[in-house]
């Protein structure tokens, strides 16, 4: 259903009723309907996450797509929302899911994740301590973002040590020696030194000299970028065994003297590692088969988060948390929808969602918007914080670990979805794999 | 008389090379006792960790083997220390974190094959200890070779392991009485459990040495690897 370009008075009333109904659902029946021009966030009627949830409820009820893009730079008021609803009326709504599910993509990829691992900084800090360190009221991160604790790197830990630990554990789990690797692909949003992270991991792992070392960017989307590159290398026959490693140590960059707590307080330190090989290789007994990847960049949200080195050596951070939250939910929901369409796998049959987790409340909201159980999203950000490119990796590892305890028949597909500044987005899927030829 | 804590016993061919630590006031330095007429011992009945009393005479050794001393009398064991304590003393002797600091000179890659070497005239010493970020042992034609990463991140590839205890362990692992597929079993052990046994050991430590000049080059060797191999490890593979 789409709204006509010009809305009549009756339709305006209908829109207003819809908005009011969604507001009551979000804020509760006891909260009176505010004046049209009141900024709901500034007035303390809703917090930023509540506003995002309210917007998504309006989008769902009205079939309006991406209302957030019409609300940039505008107040969080009924007036702005109603105006955005009218502005969005000329945009055709997304096709219904049932239409899109008719043409699933063929499963042509033959690359398997054979082992995985995850490592976090060894200092676990209650979020209240982080609140205090950033000069925020104790309990703010827990109440506003849902973060209970954060994993911070200890003195001897950094991206290389955490990444190497995760990679060693993955190699051990796969009974694979580092000298069997053909490529090490690393990604990090915090390691900017040279030799690069991939090169340092290559040395640390004692990979063969003719094993390649490649760094890929994308910040929180880095894992998906790296997996896609690894998949291409294996499919093209240029590699048989590839290690993908993520490692992020935010606690040394996003410090209280450089950034505000509402931004810096969200992040923790961690790493993940995945071993990929050909599905038909004799050594590949079981694992998860990589499906296709989809990628893109929604430039209209580019200003929502920007981080740069300032001339005076400080860190320039532009962070519109509310706009970014709206964009994150809307875009990840879209990505999940696209993955569903491309894979032909209904989201209801997915065993786990390895997504970026900006904060736990957004994850809960994403689950609600997608109509899936929040249990399907491993609670990484709740206990470790936002781990950058390693969030998605940690979630994927947890899902794979859970699946390894299940019988083969019980294992279900996995969806990947993530975002990076830009606003980069990407998604993909994995399906259970077993090498029946080896079994026989 | 000099008291020497034996820290290294290396083996190449039939002969043994021995290195010990000597304390001089607060300084602990490496000393290589050699027989009067050769650079190595055909028979050396003592163990690592033994503290030996001996008489040593200065010896006009060619660079870089400045640690050489002629043993003018036999060795007399006075006591011994355990493995972890030996490493504690080694950590107070010659140490380096990076490749050029190992022997005080540039280290060159073998252009024609495996291994690394130094130019004898450039090297300031022939033995040095170091911590490692990682270590891998591999078999090449039943000989043990090591690849390791220094704390600086520099990687040293394909060094021959000449540590007597490790060479004895490999010989025992590959003995005909050990049954079928023993090379493959040993390789699997070195690739998996070995790594955790070695790297997780609190007194994991290595010493690197330089060979005597050969065709005007001194080649790097892994002289000592702690922890030393345990006989019971042979039961694990």
Which whole-number Å values give the CA distances from B209 to B39, B109, B228, in the listed order? 14, 16, 17
Q: Residue B36: which pLDDT band, with cuts at 50, 70 and 90?
A: confident
Among A179, A203, A204, A205, most B C-beta atoms within 10 A, so best to mutate, is: A203
CB-CB neighbors (< 8 A) of A172 in chain B: 192, 195-196
Q: What pLDDT is recorded for position A6?
A: 52
User: What phi and psi, each to the nearest 5 degrees, are found at residue A97?
Assistant: -60, -35
Among B97, B99, B114, B136, most A C-beta atoms within 10 A, so best to mutate, is: B136
Residue B107 has pLDDT above 70, yes or no: yes
- Find, in chain A, the residue whose alpha carbon is nearest to that of B193: A172
CB-CB neighbors (< 8 A) of A163 in chain B: none
Which three-class secondary structure state does DSSP give residue A439?
helix
The minimum CA-CA distance between A199 and chain B, rounded to whole Å, is 9
Please tell me which of the candidates A177, A195, A205 has its beta carbon nearest to residue B191.
A177
CB-CB neighbors (< 8 A) of B111 in chain A: none
Please tell me which of the candidates B153, B191, B192 has its beta carbon nearest to residue A203.
B153
Q: DSSP letters of A185-238? A: EEE-SS---SS-HHHHHHHHHT--TTSEEEEE--GGGHHHHHHHHHHHHHHTTS
Q: Do A206 and B154 touch (CB under 8 A)?
A: no
User: What phi and psi, each to the nearest 5 degrees, are found at residue A187?
Assistant: -145, 140
CB-CB neighbors (< 8 A) of A205 in chain B: 134
Among B133, B146, B151, most A C-beta atoms within 10 A, so best to mutate, is: B133
Could you read off the pLDDT of A137-178 as tens digits, one per residue? Answer: 999 999 999 999 999 999 999 999 999 999 999 999 998 889
CB-CB neighbors (< 8 A) of A208 in chain B: none
The minimum CA-CA distance between B150 and chain A, rounded to whole Å, is 9
- Is the ipTM, as predicted for this complex, more than 0.90? no
Which whole-number Å values give the CA distances from A355 to A219, A224, A395, B183, in the listed order? 14, 10, 7, 45
Residue A97 has pLDDT above 50, yes or no: no
Reference A88, options A33, A7, A194; nearest CA is A7
Residue A47 has pLDDT above 60, yes or no: yes
Q: Do B149 and A168 touch (CB under 8 A)?
A: no
Please state, rounded to an integer, the average pLDDT across all residues of chain A: 87
Q: Which helix H or strand E contains B5, and what residues bound it?
A: strand B2-12
Could you read off the pLDDT of A329-365 as tens digits, one per residue? Answer: 989 999 999 999 999 999 999 999 999 999 999 999 9
Q: Do A206 and B192 touch (CB under 8 A)?
A: no
- Find, in chain A, the residue whose alpha carbon is nearest to that of B190: A177
Please tell me which of the candidates B155, B192, B196 has its beta carbon nearest to residue A206.
B155
Which whole-number Å values give the CA distances from B8 to A181, B124, B201, B225, in the listed order? 34, 19, 19, 9
The minimum CA-CA distance between A283 and chain B, rounded to whole Å, is 14
Residue A396 has pLDDT above 90, yes or no: yes
Which three-class secondary structure state does DSSP give residue B99?
helix
Tokens (6 digits) for A212? 């390649």
The minimum CA-CA distance between A201 and chain B, rounded to whole Å, is 9
Q: What pLDDT is recorded for position A436?
A: 59
Convert A217-249 to b/e letters by CB count within 10 Å (16 or more is b).
ebbbbbbbbbbbbbbebbeeeebbbbbbbbbbb
Q: What is the mean pLDDT of residues A25-49?
A: 83
Q: Do A168 and B195 touch (CB under 8 A)?
A: yes
- Find, in chain B, the residue whose alpha carbon is nearest to that of A161: B133
The minimum CA-CA distance between B39 and chain A, rounded to whole Å, is 34
Please tell me which of the candidates B138, B149, B196 has its beta carbon nearest to residue A203.
B149
Task: Please give the interface size between A and B, counted as residue pairs whose CB atoms are below 8 Å apart.
Answer: 33
Which whole-number Å values give the CA distances from B159 to A117, A424, B120, in the listed order? 31, 46, 18
Q: Do B136 and A209 touch (CB under 8 A)?
A: no
- Find, in chain A, the residue whose alpha carbon is nearest to that of B148: A206
Please state, rounded to an integer, the average pLDDT across all residues of chain B: 93
Q: Do A206 and B149 touch (CB under 8 A)?
A: yes
Q: What pLDDT is recorded for position A90?
A: 54
Among B97, B150, B153, B206, most A C-beta atoms within 10 A, so best to mutate, is: B153
The minimum CA-CA distance between A200 and chain B, rounded to whole Å, is 7
Q: Do A205 and B148 touch (CB under 8 A)?
A: no
Look up tokens 């519109």; give the residue.
A320
Q: Please, how many CA atoms are within 13 Å of residue A87, restricted to the half-sphere of its CB?
A: 13
The minimum CA-CA distance between B123 and chain A, rounded to whole Å, is 25
Could you read off the pLDDT of A179-203 as tens digits, one per residue? Answer: 999 999 999 999 999 999 999 999 9
Q: Residue A73: which pLDDT band, with cuts at 50, 70 and 90?
A: low
Which whole-number Å values give the CA distances from A55 to A135, A188, A199, A213, A238, in the listed order? 30, 32, 45, 44, 47
Cβ-Cβ contacts under 8 Å for A218 (sequence gap 6 or more): A187, A224, A225, A389, A420, A424, A426
Please tell me which of the candidates A172, A205, A209 has its beta carbon nearest to residue B134.
A205
pTM of the model: 0.81
Residue A100 has pLDDT above 50, yes or no: no
Q: What pLDDT is recorded for position B176?
A: 92
Please tell me which of the candidates B149, B192, B196 has its beta carbon nearest to residue A175.
B192
Q: Do A164 and B138 touch (CB under 8 A)?
A: no
Q: Is A152 exposed, middle or buried (0-12, 13-18, 19+ CB in 10 A)?
A: buried
- Find, in chain A, the residue whose alpha carbon is nearest to that of B191: A177
Which three-class secondary structure state does DSSP give residue A183?
strand
Tokens (6 digits) for A131? 């609140």
Q: Do B136 and A206 touch (CB under 8 A)?
A: yes
The minimum CA-CA distance between B103 and chain A, rounded to whole Å, is 21
In DSSP terms, which residues pair with A416 in a beta bridge?
A354, A428
Could you read off the pLDDT of B1-16 as tens digits, one per residue? Answer: 889 999 999 998 889 9
Q: What pLDDT is recorded for position B1?
A: 80
Please tell me which of the candidates B133, B138, B157 has its beta carbon nearest to residue A204.
B133
Tell me how long chain A is.
440
Could you read off the pLDDT of A102-129 as tens digits, one per residue? Answer: 444 444 458 999 999 999 999 999 999 9
Whether the CB-CB separation of B87 and B81 falls below 8 Å is answered with no
Q: From CA A339, how far away is CA A293, in angstroms rounded?
A: 8
Q: Do A209 and B134 touch (CB under 8 A)?
A: no
Please tell me which of the candidates B134, B192, B196 has its beta carbon nearest to residue A206.
B134
Whether the CB-CB separation of B128 and B103 falls below 8 Å is answered with yes
């Amino acid at each position: 259903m789409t709204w006509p370009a010009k809305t009549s008075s009756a339709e305006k009333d209908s829109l207003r009723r819809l908005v009011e109904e969604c507001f009551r659902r979000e804020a509760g029946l006891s909260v009176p309907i505010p004046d049209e021009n009141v900024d709901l966030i500034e007035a303390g009627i809703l917090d930023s996450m509540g506003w995002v949830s309210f917007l998504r409820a309006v989008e769902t009820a009205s079939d309006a797509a991406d209302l957030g893009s019409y609300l940039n730079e505008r107040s969080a008021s009924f007036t702005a929302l109603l105006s955005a609803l009218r502005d969005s009326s000329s945009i055709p709504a997304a096709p219904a899911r049932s239409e899109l599910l008719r043409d699933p993509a063929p499963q042509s990829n033959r690359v398997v994740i054979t082992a995985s691992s995850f490592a976090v900084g060894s200092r676990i800090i209650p979020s209240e301590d982080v609140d205090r360190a950033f000069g925020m009221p104790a309990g703010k991160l827990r109440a506003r973002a849902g973060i209970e604790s954060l994993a911070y790197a200890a003195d001897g830990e950094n991206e290389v040590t955490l990444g190497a630990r995760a990679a060693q554990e993955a190699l051990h789990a796969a009974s694979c020696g580092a000298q069997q690797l053909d490529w090490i692909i690393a990604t990090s949003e915090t390691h900017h030194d040279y030799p690069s992270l991939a090169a340092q991991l290559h040395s640390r792992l004692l990979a063969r000299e003719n094993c390649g070392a490649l760094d890929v960017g994308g910040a929180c989307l880095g894992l998906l970028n790296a997996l896609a590159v690894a998949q291409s290398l294996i499919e093209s026959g240029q590699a048989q065994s590839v290690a993908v490693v993520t490692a992020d140590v935010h606690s040394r960059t996003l410090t209280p003297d450089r950034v505000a707590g509402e931004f810096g307080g969200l992040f923790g330190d961690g790493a993940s590692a995945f071993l990929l090989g050909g599905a038909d290789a004799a050594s590949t007994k079981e694992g998860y088969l990589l499906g296709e990847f989809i990628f893109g960049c929604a430039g209209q949200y580019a200003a929502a988060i920007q981080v740069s080195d300032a001339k005076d050596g400080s860190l320039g951070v532009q962070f519109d948390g509310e706009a970014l939250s709206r964009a994150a939910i809307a875009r990840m929901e879209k990505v999940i929808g696209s993955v569903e369409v491309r894979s032909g796998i209904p989201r209801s049959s997915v065993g786990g969602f390895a997504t970026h987790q900006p904060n736990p409340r957004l994850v809960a909201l994403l689950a609600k918007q997608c109509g899936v159980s929040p249990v399907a999203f491993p609670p990484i950000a709740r206990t470790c914080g936002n781990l950058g490119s390693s969030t998605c990796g940690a979630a994927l590892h947890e899902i794979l670990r859970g699946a390894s305890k299940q019988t083969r028949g019980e294992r279900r597909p996995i969806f990947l979805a993530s975002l990076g500044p830009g606003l980069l987005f990407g998604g993909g899927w994995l399906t259970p794999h077993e090498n029946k030829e080896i079994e026989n | 008389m000099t008291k020497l804590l034996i820290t290294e016993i290396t083996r190449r061919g039939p002969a043994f090379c021995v290195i010990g630590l000597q304390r001089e006031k607060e300084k602990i330095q490496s000393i290589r006792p050699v027989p009067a007429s050769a650079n190595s011992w055909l028979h050396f009945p003592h163990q690592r960790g033994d503290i030996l009393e001996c008489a040593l005479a200065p010896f006009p050794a060619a660079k870089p083997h400045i640690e050489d001393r002629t043993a003018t009398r036999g060795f007399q064991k006075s006591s011994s220390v355990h493995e972890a304590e030996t490493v504690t003393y080694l950590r107070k002797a010659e140490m380096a974190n990076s490749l050029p600091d190992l022997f005080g000179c540039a280290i060159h890659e073998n252009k024609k094959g495996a291994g690394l070497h130094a130019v004898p005239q450039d090297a300031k010493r022939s033995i040095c200890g170091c911590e490692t970020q990682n270590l891998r042992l591999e078999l090449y034609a039943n000989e043990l070779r090591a690849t390791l990463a220094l704390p600086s991140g520099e990687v040293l590839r394909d060094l021959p392991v000449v540590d007597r205890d490790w060479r004895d362990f490999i010989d025992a692992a590959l003995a005909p009485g050990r049954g079928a597929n023993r090379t493959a079993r040993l390789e699997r052990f070195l690739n998996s459990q070995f790594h955790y046994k070695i790297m997780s050991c609190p007194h994991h430590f290595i010493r690197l040495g330089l060979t005597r000049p050969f065709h005007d080059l001194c080649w790097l060797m892994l002289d000592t690897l702690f922890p030393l191999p345990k006989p019971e490890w042979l039961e694990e593979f």
